[in-house]
Every structure is written in structure tokens, then in C-alpha cells.
Chain A
Amino acid sequence: MKIIVPIKQVPETSNVKMDEETGTMIREGVESIINPLDLYAIEEAIRLKEQFCGEVTVISMGPGKAIEAIKEAIAMGCDNGILLSDKKFAGSDTWVTSYVLSQCIKKIGNFDLILCGERATDGDTAQVGPGIASFLNLPLSTFTSEIDRIEKDSIQVKRLVEGGYELLDMKLPAVLTLIKEINNPRLPTLKGKLKAKEIKIPIWGPKNIDAQDECLGLKGSPTRVVKIFAQKISREGEKFIAKDEDDLNKAIDKIMDYLILKGLI
């Protein structure tokens, strides 16, 4: 079984600090990590490989240092990786990113499954997984929470939708985007880390994947960000500070008065 896992390197944003004046992220001291949701795709790919034998290839589009993310995936147990990095890729939106990744996958060829994280924590669009499926004209299951069964040319999956789950049977090859529920990602092993240290990751540009220049970067992107601004937080209501027991009762009075006044109880 040959599995391809597209991943993204993202800034560690769980404790992101914003410059309130400019509305931009303060990048100093911000670490780069594998998109946390991609870890589930990496883990699932490794588990399938362990079960059925085969090979897991990690691909990533990004700046040169995204090689760290690929190496970390290899340290977890993936077999090899390719970095897609070129000046012409800069400024790509989700259409172009899907294009580049799918061109790379075509070039690799001969795969059974493509596993993606549900979305990246920075861009948060969840569009690239479906985008790859569309470019490659493949069946797609998004928000996948479980792989029930894999046969020679089909896969049965469960996907999380509003109010429950859908059970789907899909022809292989297929694209799955995975959610947190699916597994618990492992940590890199020492052996894996050694392997990652040794391995040479090829860096591919537009020529390696037969990409058309006019479809790349800002020029190829149908969308443009035209404005970035900080969110305005409005309505500063009454504030009551409960310092002692007496205040505590007053605080409860305040809440009760509010609920009654607004007809909420």
C-alpha cells in the first residue's frame, strides 16, 4: 500500500500574540511546527503501513526550512519525503497550493491513498485536501473519523457530519481528510530521528512537477487578500468585583437582576 501525506509547516499559534496597532502576528520567537492536524494523517499512514506493508511519502510545499517538518514526519515513521520549494510558489492561495501538490502526486504516481489533516491551523480553510482530490479526479471523504476496512480496491470510512456519522464505501485510490478523533499520534523515535538525520530530501520546483508558470504563486491565485485588520471587541458592560463573601452575594444579585430584567429565566 502506497500512501502520500501532504503536510504543512505552520507557526505555533496556540499562544499567538498580536500587535494590536497593526493587527499582525508577532512572529519573533514563534516556533515552526508540523500543522498539529497533519499529525493524525501521518499517524494513520504509518499505522496502515505497519498493517499492510508499503510506503509512506510525505510532501510539503513551503520555504526551505519546511524540510524540518518533513524530517520530523520521517522520524515518526514515514519512509521518505519531497519538499516543494521555489520562488515561483510564493504567495500561492489554496487553488495554487492544491495544484502544486496534485502535480507532485501525479509525478510520484502509483499511490493507493492520500491522507491529509482536516485543515491547517494557520490558514484554517480546509480547502487543500478537497482541492487535491478535485485536481486528481478522485473520490473524497472529508472529516473522516475512522477507517473501518480496507480491501484491494476499496475503503470503508466513517465521517463526522452534523448530528452523527456517515458510513461510506469508496473506490481506491481516494483522498481522505482526517479529524482528531481518528487516532493518537505517536512521538518520533530515536531510530526514526537517526534516519531523518541521514536522509536526503529532494527539493522540487515547477519543472520537476510539470507545472505551468502562469498557474503558480500570486499570479496563478484567483484570490487576493486585500485587507487585514484586528477584530474589534465591542460592548463593555458593567463589571462587578467580588472580593469577599458579602460581595459574592451582591454578585449573585447582579446576575439574577440581569436574568430577570432581560426575561432570561
Chain B
Amino acid sequence: MMSMRRIKMAEVWTFAEQRHGMLSEVSFELLNRGKKLAEKLNSPLTSVILGYHIRKGDIDELISRGADKVFVIDDKHLENFLIEPYARILVSLLDEYNPHIFIAAATTLGRTLMPYVAIRKKTGLTADCTVLDIEEGTNNLLQTRPAIGGNILATIKTSNTRPQMATVRPHSTKPALPDRNRKGEVIYKEYDDEILKSRTKFIKFIKDESQQVTVQDAKIIVSAGRGIGKKEKFKIIDELAEILGGAVGASRDVVDRGWKTYPHQIGLSGKTVSPLLYIANGISGSVQHIAGIQTSENIIAINKDPDAQIFKLADLSIVGDLHEIVPLLIERIKEYKAREAKR
């Protein structure tokens, strides 16, 4: 028997997500997380990318953002995410290299692929983590996530099986910055038809214009909760967002009532955001909402209730009626902008 067994290092792996041939930003957020874990473990950081016609520039980008090694699996069958070939390839790679930690983004892809893989590997998977750390002494991965509708945080460990798998909330950390001088190893892997076959056919992607609001990428978000009162009143929120060049957000309550559509929903059951400015209008600040906005740079809250939870998180709190304040604020911003334009 060949004794050339690979030395089992406690490697940290990240899943580099690409969609429609574009490497997504969240891959760099994972590298930022992964780098901190790898440093603590004194181990290399590896990214895995699956796709078709994967660009050399994207592979280089992964290295410049912190990957020491990149596994590239490039095949026509992998152009779009299909659960069966994607899962088989990952299981095969994990079997072969046995990393200690494997993290992916808690996107629709990550939240589908990772549980499918974790079952096959008979290992633990923690969904939607907001904090990852290494436990001193044991070197186990400490995975912290909001639980019970975001009312508490739970720290979870996978002590006895490997890899320790987790999905990480997009935008819950900043992307790793590029360093063009970094060097890394690129390993191309190929798989046969048995692994690449699928009982699912990808027919097409249908772009949804209403989802173009992408609150997740907005620098400024103006959002409203139940205090807005009714659907028609959202006009003032839309207007304030527009004049500030921002996106419109909504609390779960408002979306459940049908006053705004789901892509606008902010909070644990919607989107986690970290804009430069978050203006919360008539939002009481349920724990699940707060968990979705807490990394915002600046938070301004307007609410009638002086005891609203949201005020605890706000940098500037205004106790008052949003229906009076927001229209006045819009006027003042318009005046300000007109004045500035003349200067």
C-alpha cells in the first residue's frame, strides 16, 4: 500500500460562490472570516470554486484576498448550481483532503448545498452564523448564531466530527482586502460523469426587477415598521429614501401585512444589512430586526414610543411622530441640496 498519505493539517476551507459566471463579494467576506480562523490555528486557508469558464482573474482575486490554495473545478455541468453534482464534488474533496473547518455563505446556494453535504459527511453544520471563533485549548470552532427568532444567541460546537461546517450570514463581516503581491497554489480537479450527472435540469434564470432594490448593497437605507400605519403612507419613506439616494427597507410586521414586498424585509427572517446610514421609522426594534441592522455605521431612529427598543441601538433617537417629522425632513433636505447646488 502506498504510504504517501497526505499530512492532515487543520486546514480552513471557504466556498467561493459564483453566480452567472460572476464571483460574488460574499466569497471575500468568507476569506476574511477564514483568515482569522486560520491564523489562530496556524494553518493554511483554502478556497473551493465550482463553475464553468471560471476566469483566471477570479482565481487570482481569491488568492489576493487571502487564499493560500484554490481548488478549481471547471466543467460545463457546473455552470449553474445543481445540488447533485455540486454536493458530490464537495463530498469527494472533503473525503480526500479532510479539512477541519469548511464555511460557506448563508445564501440560497449555501443554505441548500451545505446541509446536503453535511448529512453525507455525517458532520455538524451550524446555519447562519454571525460570529466564528476558535476555542482555546481544544481548537474547536465556536459557531455563534441567533436563535429563537433572534431573541437569544447560541454558541454551537462540533467537537467529534470533521469538518466543522457553518454557513455565515452575508454582510455580517467586511470583505477581505486585496493584496496583489500574495502568492498561492491553484489546483485544478476533474471529475467523471458519475459525479457530474444530475436529475435536475437548469432551464433558466429569470431576473426580477422588483428585487433590484437589493437593500443589502445600499449605502443608505430608509425603512419603516408598523408605525407607518398603512400601505399608502409608505410614499414618504420611498421619497426620503430617494432623496438620500438610498434603498427602502421594511420590518417583518410590515411585510406580513403586505405593505411592502419580501425583498425589502430587514431582520433575521429577511436581510442582514450594514449600511452607512440606517433610518428606522416607526420600528419598535424587535430583537430579530435589531440583529439584522446592528452592524450599520449610523442609525437614526424615529418613534412615538419613548421606550422603544430601537432607541438603545440608535446613534440619534427622535421621540416623535414620523408622519410629522419625515415630510418636514424631506423639505429640509431638498432645501439643503438646492443651497449646496448653488454654491
CB closest chain-A residue, reference B331:
A252
Whether B108 pairs with A241 at a CB distance below 8 angstroms is no
A232-261 interface with B by 8 A CB criterion? 233-242, 247-249, 251-252, 254-256, 258-260
Whether A265 pairs with B244 at a CB distance below 8 angstroms is yes
List the B side residues contacting A128 at CB < 8 Å: 115
List the A side residues contacting B316 at CB < 8 Å: 237-238, 240, 254-255, 258
What CA separation (Å) do A161 and B269 show in the bound complex? 15
List the A side residues contacting B230 at CB < 8 Å: none
Whether A229 pairs with B152 at a CB distance below 8 angstroms is yes
What CA separation (Å) do A227 and B158 show in the bound complex? 13
Is A150 an interface residue, CB under 8 A from the partner? no
Whether A231 pairs with B152 at a CB distance below 8 angstroms is yes
| Residue-wise interface mask of B (208-226) relative to A, using a CB-CB cutoff of 8 A (1 in contact, 0 not) | 1001101000001000000
Whether B328 pairs with A252 at a CB distance below 8 angstroms is yes
* Distance of A35 from chain B, by nearest CB (Å): 12
What CA separation (Å) do A238 and B315 show in the bound complex? 6
Pick out which of these stretches binds chain A: B62-70, B93-101, B195-203.
Answer: B195-203
Q: B314 touches which one: A123, A222, A226, A237 (CB < 8 A)?
A: A237
List the B side residues contacting A125 at CB < 8 Å: 127-128
* Residue picked from A25, A141, A237, most chain B C-beta under 10 Å: A237
Whether A142 pairs with B156 at a CB distance below 8 angstroms is no
In this complex, the interface size class of chain A, counting residues with CB under 8 Å from chain B, is: 35 or more
Whether B124 pairs with A223 at a CB distance below 8 angstroms is yes
What CA separation (Å) do A24 and B269 show in the bound complex? 20
Is B180 an interface residue, CB under 8 A from the partner? no
What CA separation (Å) do A131 and B112 show in the bound complex? 9
Whether A231 pairs with B291 at a CB distance below 8 angstroms is yes
With A223-B157, A230-B153 known as contacts, the answer to whether A252 contacts B332 (CB < 8 A) is yes
Is B1 an interface residue, CB under 8 A from the partner? no
Is B21 an interface residue, CB under 8 A from the partner? no
CB closest chain-A residue, reference B116:
A134
What CA separation (Å) do A165 and B332 show in the bound complex? 40
* Distance of B68 from chain A, by nearest CB (Å): 27
Q: A134 touches which one: B115, B203, B262 (CB < 8 A)?
A: B115
With A134-B115, A163-B207, A248-B320 known as contacts, the answer to whether A239 contacts B311 (CB < 8 A) is yes
| Residue-wise interface mask of B (26-47) relative to A, using a CB-CB cutoff of 8 A (1 in contact, 0 not) | 0000000000000000000000
Whether B336 pairs with A265 at a CB distance below 8 angstroms is yes
Q: A258 touches which one: B158, B287, B315 (CB < 8 A)?
A: B315
Interface of A is mostly: mixed
Whether B207 pairs with A164 at a CB distance below 8 angstroms is yes
Whether B158 pairs with A127 at a CB distance below 8 angstroms is no
Whether B318 pairs with A164 at a CB distance below 8 angstroms is no
Whether B325 pairs with A139 at a CB distance below 8 angstroms is no
B125-156 interface with A by 8 A CB criterion? 125-128, 142, 146-156
Is A93 an interface residue, CB under 8 A from the partner? yes
With A18-B152, A124-B127, A170-B200 known as contacts, the answer to whether A252 contacts B325 (CB < 8 A) is yes
List the B side residues contacting A167 at CB < 8 Å: 202-206
Whether B19 pairs with A162 at a CB distance below 8 angstroms is yes
CB closest chain-A residue, reference B328:
A252
Q: B313 touches which one: A134, A235, A241, A252 (CB < 8 A)?
A: A235
Whether B312 pairs with A236 at a CB distance below 8 angstroms is yes
Is A81 an interface residue, CB under 8 A from the partner? no
CB closest chain-B residue, reference A227:
B155
Is A8 an interface residue, CB under 8 A from the partner? no
Is B300 an interface residue, CB under 8 A from the partner? yes
Is A13 an interface residue, CB under 8 A from the partner? yes
Whether A171 pairs with B200 at a CB distance below 8 angstroms is yes
List the B side residues contacting A265 at CB < 8 Å: 244, 333, 336-337
A-B contact pairs, 28 of them (CB 8 A): A16-B149, A24-B152, A98-B119, A122-B147, A124-B146, A124-B147, A126-B111, A127-B125, A139-B83, A140-B112, A141-B200, A165-B206, A166-B202, A166-B206, A167-B202, A167-B206, A224-B158, A228-B155, A231-B152, A233-B312, A234-B313, A236-B312, A240-B316, A241-B306, A241-B320, A248-B324, A251-B318, A252-B325
B interface vs A, CB < 8 Å? 19, 80, 83-84, 87, 107-109, 111-112, 115-120, 122-128, 142, 146-161, 198-208, 211-212, 214, 220, 244, 262, 268-269, 276-277, 287, 290-291, 294, 298-300, 306, 309, 311-321, 324-325, 328-329, 332-333, 336-337
Q: Which 7 pairs, one residue from A and one from B, show the smallest C-beta to C-beta distance?
A: A242-B320, A222-B124, A223-B124, A134-B119, A130-B115, A237-B315, A171-B199
